[in-house]
Amino acid sequence: MDRLILRYPVAVEGKYDKNKLSRIVGSPVIALNGFAVFRDADTLSYLRAVCRAGLIVLTDSDRAGFFIRNKLKGLLPGADIINVYIPCVEGKERRKRVPSKDGLLGVEGMESAVLRELLVPFANEKAAPDDIMTKADLYALGLSGGDNASERRALMCAKLGLPESLSANALLEYINLFTGKEAAKALALGLGAAEDGE
């Protein structure tokens, strides 16, 4: 089954949630790293940039998940936040020895079909694969891999008004949400030619 291409990025609590959702969704999934996001200025700056077009928040349906949702609302004033809620199902994830404090399954423990059904209303009818930038494109432009990639990426981020310490994956997500492949290529070429091996 094809992965869903959503109109908005999805924010989830952690890397295991992101891994699960990335098998269902072919568009950006942002891991908040739990409560750490509240002290992470770069991630918050990135979220402020991407949520102007809409941000789906899909946290666990426990107390911690609701705390994150409410805190994000205050940290992202004026953001177009779309709250999507997973059902409350008792149990624990396979990788955990004990259940969560509330004894509920999180996003990573949900059936894929349930997650897909929750997100289908936000899917584009048709993706535009020709304007999707890939990791290989970033590499070819000298924005990922190679000795000077981090410096070039910082320059690219500055042009886009993003935190200059943004990772290659986060930059790729932003480009595919707002800039598009061709416009990003033009910006990257304006940084100067990439050195061989980048």
SS3 letters across the chain:
CCCECECCCEEECCHHHHHHHHCCECCCEEECCHHHHHHCHHHHHHHHHHHHHCEEECCCCCHHHHHHHHHHHHHCCCCCEEECCCCCCECCCCCCCCCCCCCECCHHHCCHHHHHHHHHHHECCCCCHHHCCCHHHHHHCCCCCCCCHHHHHHHHHHHHCCCCCCCHHHHHHHHHHHHCHHHHHHHHHCCCCCCCCC
Total domain count, the chain? 2
Residue 3, domain member (yes or no): no
Mean pLDDT of the region 132-156: 88
Do residues 95 and 137 share a domain?
no
For residue 91, the domain's CATH number is: 3.40.1360.10
> Does residue 125 surpass a pLDDT of 60?
no
Do residues 160 and 70 share a domain?
no
The pLDDT tens digits for 58-107 are 999 888 889 998 898 888 887 788 889 888 888 777 777 766 777 788 89
Do residues 111 and 158 share a domain?
no
pLDDT score at 195:
47
Do residues 80 and 165 share a domain?
no
> Does residue 22 surpass a pLDDT of 60?
yes
> Does residue 197 surpass a pLDDT of 70?
no
**Domain interval for residue 137:** 129-189
Q: What's the pTM?
A: 0.67
Residue 76, domain member (yes or no): yes
Residue 1, domain member (yes or no): no
Mean pLDDT of the region 8-24: 92
